[in-house]
Every structure is written in structure tokens, then in C-alpha cells.
Chains A and B, each alone.
Chain A
Amino acid sequence: MSGIEVKNVYKIFGARDASQRALELLRGGAGKAEVLEKTRCNVGLNDVSLSIGSGQIFVIMGLSGSGKSTLVRHFNRLIEPTVGDILIDGKDVLKLSDNGLRDLRRYGVSMVFQSFGLLPHQTVLNNAAYALVTRGEKKAAAHTSAREWLGKVGLAGYADHYPDELSGGMRQRVGLARALAANTDVLLMDEAFSALDPLIRTEMQDQLLELQATLKKTIVFITHDLDEALRIGNQIAILRDGRLIQCGTPDDILHRPADDYVRRFVERRAGTTH
């Protein structure tokens, strides 16, 4: 089982020399708006440090532009940080060679995407088996495993359909089956349920919790919905403009908000009964 360490990660989008200046400004205490004004660089992450324990669902929350999608893509290096360290199970992800990175993506970390990321020219079964076939497993074995996982997410009869014949919720379940079939220790979910309607979303959350009870993966879950975070998270981290505002249990967030920003988040849902 793998824990994830994030140590002082900065991510700045812009030209190289401008990024260096932006970095110095950030280290001096400037905020995102000031850096944008002075260097025309967009700050993705600003000195983020986290510790994600293994076997738990860790929710990273924030509004658009807070850096949450940027951060989750650091774990499989779809995005490289400007400075900082990221360790998965004690190994520095940033120092991996190309082969090492490929192995990490094939055997260590799998991902579910907000817009599903399915191959439209392949059947549901081939999509679910994609991770296995990519890493070289025999097709027959891969298909058996894929069918099993499609069954577990409730899509047993749809193996020979194509993604465009399915609804959004079903497509996301294919994405989930694909990620789970890879049998990795770490699962990244980038706003996986944000594109679904409220009923399906609740169903998928239940399904995830049910699967997690047996699988005990390290799940990093990105969302902008506090209700979702409180429902499924063991730990919640709140980001704003690239900075980490608060990190704690759902109880901490609800009853001991670190500042006004978090308090406003909590108060907005005060009307809903839980």
C-alpha cells in the first residue's frame, strides 16, 4: 500500500525566465494576482505540502482555478512541477526515468477523468481492458478481468457496446472499471463525478465507498463540491489560488474552519440537512 508525500511543490505556467522571477516573488510572499500582474505567469500551485496516508480516500477540494486538477496531474507526472518533491511509497516520482515513469503509470497509479477519456473507436470491453493490454497482458486474460470489473460497476451486459451509445453515468463507470482493472495501489479521480446528474452521482459515490471497503486503495479524489467531499473523504484538503488553506478530517472542516474562506464554504451548505 502506498502513501503519497507532496513537499513544497510550486507550479508556474509561463516562459522559463519569467517563471523564475515568479518563483522568487512567491517565495517572498506574493499572491497569485500579484505574480500575474508582474510576470504574466499563471500560478498553478503555491508551496503545497501534503501527506496522504495509504488506504484512505483523500479529497482535494477547491473552486475553479484553485490548482486541484493541476496537483492531481503531478502524481503521475502528466504535469511536471516547477520545483518541489513528490514521493509515492517513498520513491521520488520526479527522478524516474522514462521507463520508470511508464511503469509507474502502468502498475502504480491509475486515473479517472472528468470527461471520461474513453476511446470512441473501441468497444466498452476494449476500453475497460485498455490499461491491461497497454502493459502487455494477454488479450484473453485482459478481457476476462475487464468483464469482471465491468460487472462490479454494474455494466455487465454492455461489453460490446460503444461509448457513444452509453449515457454519461455509464461512460464514467467504464472509466472507473478501466482504472480499477489496472489494480494499482493509487487511484486518482479528477472530478470524476462532476459531469453526472445528482442521482447518478450519489449512486457512484456509494459504489466507490463499497468498492473501497474491500480494495483499500489510496484514492486521491478531486472535487469542487463540499457535500461530496464530506460524504466520501477520510481527509480533506482545501486549495485556493494554488495555496493549501486547510487540511483535516471532515469534522475539522465543518467545525473548525481555518479561515473565512472555508467558513463561507461550510455556511453555504448549512441549509442542507445531513
Chain B
Amino acid sequence: MGSPFLHLSIADWVNDQVAAFVQRYGDAFHNFSVLMLRDMLVPLESLLRATPPIVVLAAVGLLGWHASRRVGVALLFVALLWLIGSFGLWDKLMQTFALMMVATLISVVLGVPLGILAASSSTLRRVLLPVLDVMQTLPSFVYLIPVLMLFGLGKVPAILATVVYALPPLIRLTDLGIRHVDAEIVEAARAFGTTRMQLLFGVQLPLARPSIMAGINQTTMMALSMVVIASMIGSRGLGEDVLAGIQTLDVGKGTQAGVAIVILAIVIDRISQGYGQGRRTRGLARKSKQPSRIPFRRVREQESEGTDAAKAGELTGKLNSEPAK
């Protein structure tokens, strides 16, 4: 009774390819790595670490208020971040934040244009989706070993690994958002002679904005979830403490750093969600206590009276006007 399976292995072939690749392109990658470190990461990280914590806390408070228009929420963010500082983890928090910001920035710069292109080209989409599947599910360590051979240990491979993991949701959600813009609105815009650029920037991107912001939100969350793996390959930050906690069975230390990561995630999540909906939607959603189906509205003082007056004036006065809310 023979087994139905052949004896196949791609392992040797992959090993040969990786060795050849590293030999040929190692220098170029090393230079790129130095460039990225010197011009992007280190300045940003130094800036964040050098800024007095009070200034950072105040900035977060302002940003939180501007995003959510609620003082309570902003104060909560400030309190939570202050708590992290009180745990003695402020410096590490800034390092993690810098790493995550660079990774998210690279993801947005790559992801939104790719998503826009995928939305307009079915061929590209068909080619891209399997690649995204691989990026999201292939265990990081599989491609990290060759990456480490090319870049060495440190922040750059950490960012690379984070980008590979965090990029796919943004591409998918941008593509989805643009494809699901109301076809009738797109038709109306085309009927008035828009160019493709006018259609993209005037109609599709504004209407796909909630979806794109959800994508950016997911990308930042995925980037944060890579923090521990990032520290395993040499980046500094909160992941270091979690790792040290695991390695020395110091559960408390690991938990503390873990809580700090969660707090950072929550603050970034809420702020980016706040910018995802326009202010109009938020104001309306709060008033109606229902999920708003309309992407963009702006709150005005006389809004409720205005709407009632408009609709009452439209009909010939046979209906009773609703009392102003």
C-alpha cells in the first residue's frame, strides 16, 4: 500500500536563491538601511525623546480634543499616557511610537496609491490579492531570516517586517472603499465631463474616506501588534520589556509593558477614528443615537430648526410642523 504523495522539496532551491540574492544585493540594502535610519527614524525618535513629556502630553490632549470634540475623552488620553510615564516606560513609549509612525507612514505612502490603482484595474487586483494574502499569513520569521541577512539586526528590518504585515489591510480597504462609491454618483460626475483626476479627487476619494481611514486605523493596529517581534530582531521600545518579561519569567514586567502597548493602541485608534468620520457625521450620529449612513455632514447651530423649516416649507403647509428639537 504506497502513499499517494511524491517526495518534493523546495527548501534547497530557496536556500540557494537566498544565498545568491544576499551576496549580490547585500551592499545596496545596507546602504538603503543606513539612509532610512539616518534620515527618518533616528531624527524622529530623537525629537520625540528629547521633547519634554509635558509638551507631548499637551499635544496629545489637543489632538484628542480636536479629533473627538469632547474634553473628557482628551483628558482621558492624557491621563492614560501619563500613567505609562509613571510606570517608568516613557522613553520606551517614545521609541515604540517613532517606530510605529515610520512604519505606518511608509504603509500609507505605498498602500493608498496601490489601493487606488487596484480599484481601477481588475487585472492588478487579481495579481495583488494573492500577494496580500501571503503577506498577511506567512509567518514573519520565514522572511525575517533573509531580511536579517540583508540588513542586520536593528530598527530597519523591524520596520520592514512591520510594513509587510500592516500594509495589506490598507490596500484592501482603499480598494473596497473606492469600488463601493455609489455608482450613480460616479455616473453623474462623468456625465458632466470630469477627467479621471477630477473624479478621483473630487468624488471617489472623499466618498471612500471612511473606508480608507478604517484601513489606516487597521494598519496602525497591526503595526503595534508587531512590536514584540520587532524587539526580537533588535528594535528598542516597549517590546523589549515584554520580551524580557517572557524570557526571565517576570510576568509583572511583561504585563506592565503590555498594558502600555494596549493604551497606546487605544489612544491612536480613537484619534484616527475621530478623523475618519467628518465632524458633521459625528455631530449627527450623536444627536440621532443611530449609526449614521451619511458620510459627510457638518453640525450647525440652527440645524434642527433649519431642517424642519425647510421640509415644512416644501410641502404646502398641510402637515403639522414638528416642534424644534
On A, residues with C-beta under 8 Å from B are 76, 78, 102-107, 110-111, 113, 115, 117-121, 130-131, 134-135, 158, 161-162, 164-167, 169-170, 178, 182, 199-200
Contacts and interface: CB of A to CB of B under 8 A. Distances in A.
Contact of B310 (A104, A117, A166, A200): A166
Interface residues on B, range: 20 to 34
A117 B188 contact: yes
Contact of B192 (A105, A158, A165): A105
B307 A165 contact: yes
Nearest to A162: B297
Interface of B: 184-185, 187-195, 198, 202-203, 206-207, 278, 280, 294-298, 303, 306-307, 310-311, 314-316
A117 B202 CA distance: 14
Given A121-B296, A134-B198, A106 B192 contact: yes
B297 A164 contact: yes
Contact of A170 (B280, B298, B314): B314
B306 A165 contact: yes
B310 A158 contact: yes
Contacts of A166: 310
Contacts, number: 86
Contacts of A199: 316
B188 A105 contact: no
A97 B294 CA distance: 37
Contacts of A167: 310-311, 314-315
Given A110-B191, A119-B203, A170-B310, 5 more contacts: A78-B190, A119-B206, A120-B185, A121-B206, A134-B193
B192 A161 contact: no
- Report the 9 A-B pairs with minimum CB-CB distance, sorted nearest first: A117-B188, A105-B193, A106-B193, A121-B296, A111-B191, A131-B192, A102-B193, A121-B206, A164-B294
A78 B193 CA distance: 11
Nearest to B300: A160
